[in-house]
């Protein structure tokens, strides 16, 4: 982790630990520079990162302010997609239903940009939050990139393992969202009725070089699916 990222994490932690509210004015740039003993450009990078993450907003000529939201029980859709951090107050567990090396379907080939002879790891899990079914998840990992998985790894945070165990650098991701009705099989996995709503997120994760390595389809229990996104001005 680079210096500016470390500092960004420390500032974010300070905001959380002190439960600072939206609109709380943070110290001026010079105070941060003095506190962390780094250059102006490092602090500027830290604050830009925090702004991108929706932790602060900067008002030209006026200062840097805390950015938060007020909704309990909503989970960030973009950051911490492994759910670990946002959900550390919750009891989150996984049950691995299947872990296999398989040949890709057409859909998986299209998404992972591979041919029919490529091997992929197929992982099917059900995840529980506070004892209730949160979602079930089918993931396909290009085995040329994610060279090894086992049941213990996929019971925990796969992404932490991919980053720290395999040393892969995750570049970016595409998410596709829609709502639909549960099929009988899906309803059974989630403990709901067929025809009930489902909140679906398909995601494609890429390495920094643009190669896709993970295609996942997650079907959420609609009663548990509350997500938030903090959007920056440049994207509106």
CA distance 43 to 151: 42
CB of 193 to a copy of itself, least distance (A): 10
Q: Which is nearer to a copy of itself, 6 or 79 (CB)?
A: 79
CB of 202 to a copy of itself, least distance (A): 9
CB of 42 to a copy of itself, least distance (A): 15
CB of 136 within 8 A of CB of 217? no
Q: Which is nearer to a copy of itself, 8 or 120 (CB)?
A: 8
Radius of gyration of the chain (CA): 20
SS3 118: coil
Q: Which is nearer to a copy of itself, 92 or 175 (CB)?
A: 175
CB of 127 to a copy of itself, least distance (A): 17
CB of 14 to a copy of itself, least distance (A): 19
Q: Which is nearer to a copy of itself, 54 or 122 (CB)?
A: 54
CB of 178 to a copy of itself, least distance (A): 5
Which of 106, 100, 111, 104 minimizes the C-alpha distance to 211? Answer: 111
125 alpha carbon, distance to own chain's centre? 17
Contacts of 196 (CB under 8 A, 6+ apart): 181, 182, 187, 222
CA distance 79 to 157: 14
Q: Which is nearer to a copy of itself, 1 or 152 (CB)?
A: 1
Give the dihedral of Cα atoms 32, 35, 36, 42; nearest 10 deg.
20
Q: Which is nearer to a copy of itself, 155 or 173 (CB)?
A: 173
CB of 165 to a copy of itself, least distance (A): 17
Per CB under 8 A, residues contacting a copy of itself are 22-23, 49, 52-54, 57, 59-60, 62, 65, 67, 69-71, 74, 77-79, 81, 110, 169-181, 195-199, 204-206, 208-210, 220, 222, 225-236
CA distance 42 to 46: 6
CA distance 54 to 44: 15
Q: Which is nearer to a copy of itself, 65 or 99 (CB)?
A: 65
Token readout for 216 is 């996942």
């Amino acid at each position: 982790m680079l210096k500016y990222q470390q500092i960004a994490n420390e500032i974010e932690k300070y905001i959380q630990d002190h439960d600072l509210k939206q609109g709380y004015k943070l110290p001026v740039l010079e105070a941060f520079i003095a506190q962390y003993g780094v250059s102006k450009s490092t602090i500027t990078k830290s604050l830009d990162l925090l702004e991108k993450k929706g932790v602060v907003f900067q008002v030209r000529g006026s200062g840097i302010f805390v950015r938060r939201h007020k909704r309990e029980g909503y989970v960030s859709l973009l950051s911490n997609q492994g759910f670990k951090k946002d959900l550390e107050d919750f009891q989150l567990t996984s049950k691995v239903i299947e872990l296999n090396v398989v040949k890709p379907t057409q859909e998986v080939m299209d998404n992972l940009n591979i041919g029919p002879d490529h091997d992929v790891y197929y992982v099917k899990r059900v995840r529980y939050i506070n004892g209730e079914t949160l979602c079930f998840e089918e993931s396909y990992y290009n085995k040329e990139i994610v060279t090894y998985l086992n049941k213990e790894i996929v019971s925990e945070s796969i992404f932490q393992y991919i980053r720290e165990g395999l040393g892969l650098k995750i570049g970016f991701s595409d998410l596709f969202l829609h709502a639909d009705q549960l099929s009988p099989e899906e309803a059974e996995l989630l403990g709901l009725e067929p025809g009930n709503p489902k909140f679906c997120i398909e995601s494609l994760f890429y390495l920094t070089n643009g190669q896709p390595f993970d295609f996942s389809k997650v079907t959420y229990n609609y009663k548990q699916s509350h997500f938030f996104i903090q959007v920056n001005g440049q994207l509106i």
